[in-house]
Structure 1
């Protein structure tokens, strides 16, 4: 088999795997934002597999320009995908679409105007610096959000998916910047196509191994309240730990402490982090440690807002006393739980008296 045929086979395999993944996600999780973004990312990656070339010395065929532009914009989708993957409360905003459109437009302009006018290296460098920037944002999101994830079975899979894409995308961006304007040859193109196929296969395998309900919650439901009914079959050791955890929450109000982490909480209970993570997830029903803390903080804030004796206390003071670091996150978390803003909640309680 010639190098050209081998490269084509690799590209076809990557496209087939990505289309299979996209079809699976649409079939099972079409109403879940993270799954929809994963589908969009898979389709954009298929465009990348079909159009990507390390060698950008020759003019790009006009028919390839839209595919290359969509492939470049896929890095924005990847960033949004990681945000939704590590934050069940993430929502798309209009400006996310604007960012994607700007990246796609610049890449398309680079293909049909900037590079053909003699500025190949400039076009390639800028596009790939954009790619590296969004990869950095995605990795940063993973690092910031991963410790709060309580669903053990998806933790390693999510990190693997992000790291695999970041490694492949980062190496390709650096390689394309270095090789801009130079012929790299058929061997390099074939090796790159093979590396992409291996990366795609590994990601598909990793995602398929994780239960879909863990990776992509089928519905977005309100988090459970801070009062829980324990299963009758719960063993005594777990019950004792949960009782100790709830005492820390109710009596010491440890959720008020600044920068409280699951590691600190596990240390107070003298158990490994993984065990506390499993207890909060499987016994108390939370998927995210920050949501667990915030629900306790919001319960305290609700009591303060409904208290006539604290009617003149500013909302921000109540938020800070409950453990929030600023007003914005408090307002968003409060409305997510109660359906109203803190000010509206206080007014409703006052009018009900």
Structure 2
């Protein structure tokens, strides 16, 4: 090894060590402060998986994978699934883990382990690397799509930018690393400059995410569902103007039932009220106590559905019809939202109201 290569290797080791140290501290803090929030637990798991990646990531040829190294590589690969789930939980307070999420994670981890232990040593290293990193690109794309689709519904301004930055920075690194891995798949030499750049970018992104998370209230970033949101009491000078806007908003909800419309957005609603979008976000969040625009809409939809389910004259109307009339696009999301709000399913709610008559 030349002197320059030795210096590069030493610098890379320092960068990797810094990343691992930051990620372990971050995971410990998240588990200590936000273990009750699903997004907090997933963030901690993502940090631990990223630490495994920082230890094992190597572009181009490297030493043969040892028995202790393979499990770390497998956990590192499975971390992209955790990243996708973390993104979903971060932007959707109602998101819940399902058994098949764990199955997807286990399948990705198992495939990575098999690739390390048997597929690559059998002379198929290039195929194994391309397959594993193609999976990474798929989950990065899913995470980005989730962010784009959910970002506008977040009503807490101070956390929206931080959430998007966390996802964008993580996705950028994950995509860059996967593309480098694919580009140098099967290379017979270790690409020192690529490994150094990879380690430097990872350290910079981990440090930036840690700094961004320190600057925002963690209780806003990782919402604990059980905690109620207390509306902010308006200042005297703002109260009259805000009250007029709230009244106008409630008229749109009650009289026009705008929540029934397909794909109603906060931007469209702001246009109807002739106010900037940021002001409507602040109004719904700080004056009405909602953190998410979709939750605000769904509460109105569920109130209409509750009235219909309790109405004896609609006893024969199918639940799916009531759900669609209220503005839900399908039965599954309606059932989940209804039970989360009332504690019972729509059918159970209808029976309870019928028996109380």
Q: TM-score with structure 1 length normalisation?
A: 0.95
Partner of 1:271: 275
Q: How has the CA–CA distance of structure 1 residues 250 and 229 changed in structure 2, closer, same or farther, with 3 Å as cutoff?
A: farther
Alignment of structure 1 residues 328-343 onto 2, 5 Å: 328-343=332-347
**Is the contact between residue 57 and residue 180 of structure 1 (CA under 8 Å) also seen in structure 2?**
no
Q: How has the CA–CA distance of structure 1 residues 209 and 229 changed in structure 2, closer, same or farther, with 3 Å as cutoff?
A: closer
CA-CA distance at 1:152 after TM superposition: 0.8
Q: Which blocks of at least 5 consecutive residues in structure 2 are unaligned?
A: 1-5
Task: Count the aligned residue pairs.
Answer: 350
Alignment of structure 1 residues 160-239 onto 2, 5 Å: 160-182=165-187, 183-221=189-227, 233=236, 235-239=239-243
Supply the RMSD in Å over aligned alpha carbons: 1.8
Partner of 1:291: 295
Q: Which blocks of at least 5 consecutive residues in structure 1 are unaligned?
A: none
Q: How has the CA–CA distance of structure 1 residues 75 and 298 changed in structure 2, closer, same or farther, with 3 Å as cutoff?
A: same
Partner of 2:326: 322
**Is the contact between residue 26 and residue 44 of structure 2 (CA under 8 Å) also seen in structure 1?**
yes
CA distance in 2, matches of 1:222, 1:9: 44
CA distance in 2, matches of 1:57, 1:11: 16
What whole-Å deviation, never above 9, does each CA across 1:69-121 have from its counterpart, x for those lacking one? 11001001001100100110111111111111111111111111111110010
CA-CA distance at 1:58 after TM superposition: 4.7
Q: How has the CA–CA distance of structure 1 residues 156 and 285 changed in structure 2, closer, same or farther, with 3 Å as cutoff?
A: same
CA-CA distance at 1:237 after TM superposition: 1.1
**Is the contact between residue 305 and residue 311 of structure 1 (CA under 8 Å) also seen in structure 2?**
yes
CA-CA distance at 1:218 after TM superposition: 3.2
Matched, 1:22 2:7: no
Name the stretch that deviates more: 251-260 or 269-278. Answer: 251-260
Partner of 2:3: none
Partner of 1:39: 44
2:354 maps to which of 341, 345, 350: 350
Q: How has the CA–CA distance of structure 1 residues 223 and 320 changed in structure 2, closer, same or farther, with 3 Å as cutoff?
A: farther
Name the stretch that deviates more: 58-67 or 341-350. Answer: 58-67
